[in-house]
Structure 1
């Protein structure tokens, strides 16, 4: 089933589509898009037009009716977010990419979706190995002592850290965290392994999963309690070398999005509020601003 917002037919502006390649953009009216999608209908695959405006949450009770305009707008936005997330989940489940799991806010990655991750791993591994990066793996557990030593760094993750406090019926002597990220676990060993400038550069990468427990609005493939990722951790003799490596890796991330996933991006810099704890220059990627609208399949 193909689901579209019924309002696109009357939309005054064009929609930007990547029909075949991420590097080529086609602009079509909403009416033309609907006409084309209708030609693809079969007995098994039907086009369903939904007016998402009807899902706008109504004010609940007198207290809500008396709320200031700002609070009403925030409530409306929150409701819209929940609707969008719900629709996305259902589409992914009906497409046989995901399934719900017995632990809330966790999802099963079925073969189709996991194969996408395998393609990303295969391509990215080839690229980083050409840069001299080696893969390794650190345990998923981080001791409380390590967390305490690095409390300034881990502070931003403390509300999200999942702790193991029991083994069977016995209380552990100290809680053990399941990694929300790996800096605190890895860097004490970097200090052990790097004895002099001869041990530099040190370029290591690991593919793993991390756990971040406390958050709202879980979104499959974007933010769940456990999610897969890769994290590269490198050490250099000079800042200039580190900056060069950062730009090279940023280019690879860019290629993953544009060449493998057909998602257009431009490199950017996060705000101070968004900056990772201990980060110096937090780089990120955002959608190209010249694209007015995006139609997702």
Structure 2
């Protein structure tokens, strides 16, 4: 049984890049110190700022909200949680119920916005309609665009200076490999641990878990008693990302440093290219940031509404 490098008691986690085993107490201390050091080293937040934490109700985002709530005074920031209800039956409502309980317990204001109220349809309704015309758009494509749009819009509404997301090392590596496979060169190193102000209507994002493995976040959440309902999004089967995720975890079993090296490659590419979206303009419909005259959220939501309208008129 591995022993803690610090105190010699039973270890509960191993930190590959350090080559150390840590017990429950010292792992928790390490994790929290890494969270604070990442924020300080990357200049993610400043004292007096309002930080909106994007929360889905999953273990990663709940852990991020917990840490920001625990250290808000030390960091000198005001914290507000923002969540999006996409309208995924038997999934999202369970996650949001858990989130509301934790937000109340941690005394954090929570703002929930929905696809239905903002765009006029739920994701379930959109997917059902799209399936009838051949599912030309995957559920994750629709959800990703509209979710990011709504998070940014809500962060603006609540006056947030920063939008914190719980993307961890695994998330970053998975997306990097997906872009690599698709030869999406423009996106390979575009987003790092932070983004700066590039548009007045785009809240800068920060990712305090950017350099932290998913396993470590899960271990910390478990040790702190942070529980998320064990339900999986029904649309995950339509995404290629879960295949890459499984493959990466298999690779990590043989090489525990693999994810670190891939992230380092991503950072190297980022250092030789601009992370700022070139030609960013303003959507003529909604006034939000866009790389074209009409943003993807407006185009997508308009397309889905047109299909739903056709279905309604056919009855």
TM-score by length of 2: 0.30
Structure holding more helix per residue: 2
Q: Please give the TM-score of this superposition, normalised by the length of structure 1.
A: 0.31
Q: Decide which structure has greater strand share.
A: 1
